[in-house]
């Protein structure tokens, strides 16, 4: 089990995840998101390779268009 904090909320997952899998689980796939892990921005090109570890602190922001 892995426990991470996402936007200030503690979440638990049964298996380790990478950033891309987390975005899928949060139903944010296909949206324009910015992901920060432990104070560092994770570029989209590294989402599939960046493994989350127990205790990580994540901030996820979804871009919203409009006018």
Using only the alpha carbons of the chain, give its radius of gyration.
12
Whole-number pLDDT of residue 48: 97
Distance CA 52, CA 31 (A): 20
Supply the DSSP symbol for 30. Answer: T
Domains of the chain: which residue ranges? 2-62
Q: May I ask the CATH class of domain 2-62?
A: alpha beta
Whole-number pLDDT of residue 67: 63
Q: Going residue by residue through the chain (67 aa), what tens digit of pLDDT does each one get?
A: 999 999 999 999 999 999 999 999 999 999 999 999 999 999 999 999 999 999 999 999 999 877 6
Distance CA 4, CA 31 (A): 21
């Amino acid at each position: 089990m892995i426990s991470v904090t996402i936007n200030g909320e503690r979440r638990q997952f049964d298996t380790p995840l990478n950033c891309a899998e987390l975005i899928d689980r949060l139903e944010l796939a296909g949206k324009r998101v910015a992901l920060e892990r432990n104070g560092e921005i994770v570029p989209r090109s590294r989402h599939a390779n960046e493994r989350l570890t127990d205790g990580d602190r994540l901030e996820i922001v979804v871009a919203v268009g409009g006018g």
